[in-house]
C-alpha cells in the first residue's frame, strides 16, 4: 500500500534535487520525513538520521 500516487507525485514535484554539503538542518528535515514514515507505518522502526550522518556537521 502506501500513499496514493497523486500524493507522491506532488511531494516529488516539490523537492529540490542536487548536491550540497550535509548539514544538521538537512538531517533535521530528513528526520521529520523518517518520523512521518514511521507514524504512517511505512517503516518498521525509528531511524536516527543524525547518527547516520558524518561526524563533522555544520
pLDDT 10s digits, 10-25: 999 998 888 988 889 9
Q: Which of 1 and 23 is assigned the larger pLDDT?
A: 23
What is the predicted pLDDT for the residue at 58? 63
Mean pLDDT score across all residues of the chain: 90
28: its cell numbers = 533535521
DSSP letters along 21-48, please? ---HHHHHHHHHHHHHHHHTTSSSS---
Amino acid at each position: 500500500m502506501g500513499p496514493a500516487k497523486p500524493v507522491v507525485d506532488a511531494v516529488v514535484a516539490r523537492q529540490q534535487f542536487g548536491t550540497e554539503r550535509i548539514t544538521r538542518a538537512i538531517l533535521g528535515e530528513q528526520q521529520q520525513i523518517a518520523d512521518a514514515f514511521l507514524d504512517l507505518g511505512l517503516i518498521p522502526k525509528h531511524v536516527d538520521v543524525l547518527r547516520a550522518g558524518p561526524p563533522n556537521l555544520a
